[in-house]
Amino acid sequence: MAPTEGRPADRAARVTAREVAALAGVSVGTVSNVVNRPDKVAPETLRRVREASERLGWTLHQGAQLLRGGRSAAIGAVVAQLNPHTIELLDVVERALDESGFVLQVATSAYRPDREMKRVELFEQQRVRGIIISPTQDYEAHLPRLRQLDIPLVMLGGASNGLCSVVGDGVTGGRLAAAHLIENGHRRIAVVGGAAPSDQVQARVSGVRLALTPDATLQVLPTTDYGISAGLTVAEHLARCRPDERPTGVVAINDSIAIGVQRGFRAAGISVPGDVAVIGYDDGELARIAPVPLTTVRVSSADLGHQAARLLLEEIACADSGVPHVHRQLRLQPELVVRESTLP
């Protein structure tokens, strides 16, 4: 078939999805959807993209190949669980990837290393263009396998010299939380959810320990899950303790658990913050709308998601162009947001 009049075949081969998007007045992500998921595109938008493709001599079959070199336009993400913080984070990642024509697919590991690697291998079989993984605590055993993947990969919440990574400084975050409690006179402190098999959680527990004074005590309390119900269960247990044995300061590993702890204490007639101060972690929307607004450690979901997406897109661009890629490890600093749940 002869090339489109006025547009040589070699020029047509160089047309990009971005040019098609500009002519059609849509995003690159929409062009990607027309190529990969036309059933998800409004008829009028579909017509505009197809007309722009024809005018530029860019066929949809060619586009499917040029968009991702024969691979799908999907990016895989593996997270331990879906909670308000990870949902906020993934929303940022998805919006950033959509602007570059990618579609995000999410899987959960339930904090299980074996399940985590099965999800990664499934994404590999599906020939996704890149992977973002929030690893479990035992991910080091899988690092050789992750480094062997012929897929750009970014670790979110874990670090390795052989891979790109973005991580919040958990040690600093835990230290900020515990130091705030110590400064307010608390000496019996508990970390709720602190047994979770996650490097980030264990870093936070280490930070709490670093801030303790010699006269302070620490309990690390496990939970069966990492939602509000887990915090309620722990609070019910602590409420049955003698007042002189009960922690007066609680650091939860996320805001959801902290909200549950807060509700459980209040239901038992224990005042927050009068009897027990409670601190969360993440500073999601729950922290701001809690019955007693929650003091929490903020690691910006927007920053984490933006940086993870940026690193992954950079690595994909290098892979597509044949330019050597230098892996980078980014560590984001947290801050303590003080609200009513810890007021003296």
Distances in whole angstroms, Cα of residue 44 to Cα of each of 48, 93, 101, 192, 272: 6, 28, 19, 52, 55
Task: With CA atoms as reference, report the closest residue to 252 among 172, 314, 174, 175.
Answer: 174
pLDDT-derived band at 66 (thresholds 50, 70, 90) equals very low
pLDDT (0 to 100) of residue 58: 65
The CATH number for 170-299+336-342, chosen from 3.40.50.2300, 3.30.200.20, 3.20.20.80, 3.40.50.1860, is 3.40.50.2300
Question: pLDDT: is 47 or 199 the higher one?
Answer: 47
pLDDT tens sequence across 114-149:
888 899 888 888 888 999 998 775 566 667 777 777
Enumerate the CATH 1.10.260 domain ranges in the chain, comma separated.
9-68
Predicted confidence band of residue 59 (pLDDT cuts 50, 70, 90): low
pTM above 0.75, yes or no: no
Q: With 90 as the cut, is the pLDDT of residue 28 above it?
A: no
Q: How do 295-298 and 335-337 pair as beta strands?
A: antiparallel
pLDDT (tens digit per residue) in 217-244: 999 999 988 889 999 999 999 999 999 9
- At 156 the pLDDT is 86
Phi-psi region of 25 (alpha: psi -120 to 50; beta: other; left: phi over 0): left
> Where does the chain hold its CATH 3.40.50.2300 domain(s)?
74-168+301-334, 170-299+336-342
The residue written with tokens 């547009």 in the block is 7
Contacts of 257 (CB under 8 A, 6+ apart): 192, 193, 223, 226, 227, 228, 230, 231, 234, 280
Does residue 246 contact residue 236 with C-beta atoms inside 8 Å? no
**pLDDT given at position 214:** 97
- What is the CATH architecture of 9-68? Orthogonal Bundle (1.10)
- Return the pLDDT at 15: 63
Distance, C-alpha 74 to centroid of its chain: 17
Query: Residue 105 pairs with which residues in a beta bridge?
Result: 76
Q: Which CATH architecture group holds 74-168+301-334?
A: 3-Layer(aba) Sandwich (3.40)
